[in-house]
Amino acid sequence: MTTELMLPAEIDADALRRALDGRWMAARERVRDLLGDPRLLSRPDLPLDEQRRRTLDGLRAIAATDGPKLMFPKEYGGLDEVGAGVSSFETQAHADLSLLVKCGVQFGLFGGAIRHLGTAKHHERYLRDTMNADLLGCFAMTETGHGSDVQSLRTVATYDPATEEFVVTTPDADAAKNYIGNAARDGRVAVVFAQLETAGETHGVHAFLVTIRDADGRPAPGVGIADAGHKAGLNGVDNGRLWFDAVRVPRDGLLDRFGSVAADGAYSSPVENVNRRFFTMLGTLVQGRISISGASLSATKNALTIAVRYGCRRRQFKAPDADSEIVVLDYLAHQRVLLPALATTYALSFAQAELVGELHDVQSEAADEQARRRLETFAAGLKATSTWHATATIQACREACGGAGYMTENQLGALKADTDVFTTFEGDNTVLLQLVAKTLLTNYQAEFGELDTIGTVRFVAEQVADIVIERSGARGLVQRLIDALPGTSDEETSLLSREHQISLLAWREKHVLEGVARRLRKGVEAGDDLLEVFNASQDHLLLAARAHIDARVLEAFDTAIATVSDEAAAALLHRVCDLHALSVIERERGWFLEHNRLTPSRSKAVTATINDLCRELRPYAELLVDAFGIPDELIVAPIAQGSAPVTQGSAPS
C-alpha cells in the first residue's frame, strides 16, 4: 500500500458497515431488524426468577424465527447455512447476553452435539424439536474436578447387555457436572459426556442423551439437580449442577457417530486410536468456540460505542483564553485509551469473518483433516485473543467514562459482568493457547522433517544469522545475507508500510516458534523429565501462540481491506489497520528491542506515529463506531445520547 495517505472529508458509514458485515450481511440485517423486540432486551434489574422466565420467553421468540434453522440440516427442517447462523449469533450478542448464552446452549451446544456426534436416528428424533425449542436441553461436559481436561472426566457410562442400557454414574462429588446452562430450571434432556465402559473395557469419553426431568419438571429417577444460584453476570441463564446415581439410558441414547455398542456389548469405531477419536469428536464442536469469539467482539463494540460517544460529548477543563471546556476525546491521553482498542476491534472482526468463512466452507464441503485442524487452531487462538480483548477493552471503556461508567443505566457494568466468563468457557484461554502452540510445533516438526539437504543448510544458516544479529547487533555482511528474510529491521522503511508491519510480526512468529522448538528439543535430548520440560517452557509456548495469532489477525485485516470497493472507506480502514499494527508492535517492543528488530530510536518513532494516527483518526471516531450498525434501541445509556458538540476533533464535512 502507499504510505502517504490523505483521508477524504466524506466517508460513507454504510460502506464501512458493509465491509464489517461481509459475506453474511443479509443475515446480520435480519437480526438487527429483530432486536427491536422488547422480549429480546436485557433487564438485569429484575429478580433472578423473573430474569430466567424472561430469558426463556426470549428463547422461544428466537425459536419462532429462521435463526436457529440456519444451524441444522435441511432434511430435518433446517436451512444448513452455518456461516449465516454464526454471523446471526454474533449480531444477536449486541442485545441480551443472557438470552444469547441460553440460545447458544440450546441450539449450539445441545443441538450441535446431537447433529455432529449423533447419527440419522438421533437427527430424526431430536433435531426438529430442538430447533423449535419444544425439547429444551443442556450440555453436561464440565465436572467440578475436571474442566479443561475433558479426556479425564470421571462420570462413567457402563453398558449392561442384559437390558441393553447404559448405567450412568457419578462416582464422587468432584465428578458432578457443574456450571451447566439450562440445567437448574428448564432443561429436560442433557448431552452427558462420560467414560464408556463395556465388556470390562474403557473406550474413552463419549456423549449420551440422558433425560434429567419428566414432562412435569420433576428430576428423573436417579438424577440429582442443584441450582448454581446467583452469578456475577448472565443471571438469565439457569446454570446448575447434575449428578447421576445409576441412571439407566437406552442403548440408542449413545451419540454414536464416532463409537457404537452392539446389543451384546461389542464396541466399534471408525477411528481406532482412542486419542485421535477423542480429539476428532471434540473438533466437531468447534462452532461454539467460534461463536463465543464473535459474541465477545459484539459486546466490545457496544462498550466502545458508548465510550466513544461519551468522549465526544463530555467536556473537561478549559484551554487558556477559551470560553468553553475541552471535549475529552480531543485529549491525546483519552484517544490513546479508546482508539487503539477500536482499531484492534476492527482487526479482530475481520479475522473473525475469515474464521467463520472457514467454518462454513469446512462444514459444507468434504474438507480434509488438515483443513479441519487449521480451523480448530485458528478458532482456539482467536477465541482466546478476542475474549481477552473484550475484557480489557470493556474495562478501559468503563474507566474512560469515569463515574458515569459505573452507573447501571449506562450499560458498561452489565457488559463487564456478562462477558467476564467468556475467557474461561468454551475453553480456558491459557489452555487454548497451549493447543495452538502444540499444533504449530507439530506442523513445524513435519516441515523440518521434510527438508532436503539444501533446505536444512538454509534453515541452520538462518538460525545462526539470527543469533549473531541478536547478540551483536552486527550489520554489514550478515545483515545483507538476511535482508531477504521477513521482518528485518530497516530504519529507512516507513512504519506505515503494510508490508513492513506484516513482515515484522511474521518474523516474530517464526523466531519464537523456532526458539521454543530448540528449547524443547534440548530438554528431550538431555533426557529430562518430559513434564518438567513442557512446564518449564510454558511461557515460551504461550508466546508462540500469541505471536501466531497476532500475525494472522493483521494479515486478515489487510486481506479484507483489499475487498473494499469504496475508496474512501478503504482509505480510512488502511489508517485503522496502521493503528492496530503499530499498537501490537508497541505492546511487544520490549521483545523487538531484545532481538534487535527495533532500535531505541525506532521504538520511540513507533510511539510518535501512534500518537499521530490517533490525532488523524480522532475526527472519524464516531463514524467508526456508527459503522458497527448496532440498533439504537440497544444503546440506551444516557451518556451516549445527544449530539456531539463541534470541536477541533469533529469529523470534516
Could you give the residue numbers annotated as active site?
A: 426
At a CB cut-off of 8 Å and minimum separation 6, what does 600 contact? Answer: 593
At a CB cut-off of 8 Å and minimum separation 6, what does 328 contact? Answer: 311, 314, 315, 316, 334
Closest among 651, 630, 628, 631 to 18, alpha carbons compared: 628
The four Cα atoms 588, 591, 595, 600 give a dihedral, to 10 degrees, of 70
Give DSSP secondary structure letters for 48-88.
Answer: HHHHHHHHHHHHHHHHTSSTGGGGS-GGGT----HHHHHHH
Closest among 339, 31, 56, 313 to 182, alpha carbons compared: 56
Burial-class residue 467 by CB neighbours within 10 Å (0-12, 13-18, 19+): exposed
Radius of gyration of the chain, Cα coordinates, nearest whole angstrom? 26
Q: How many residues does the chain have?
A: 653
- Phi, psi at residue 206, to the nearest 5°? -135, 170
Burial-class residue 484 by CB neighbours within 10 Å (0-12, 13-18, 19+): exposed
C-alpha cell recorded at residue 639? 451518556
Check if the beta carbon of residue 13 is closer than 8 Å to that of residue 623: yes
Check if the beta carbon of residue 212 is closer than 8 Å to that of residue 190: yes
At a CB cut-off of 8 Å and minimum separation 6, what does 422 contact? Answer: 292, 295, 296, 387, 390, 391
Which residues are paired to 244 by β-bridges?
223
Give dist(CA 216, CA 218) in Å, integer.
Answer: 6
Sign of CA dihedral 68, 109, 428, 177: positive
Give dist(CA 586, CA 593) in Å, integer.
Answer: 10
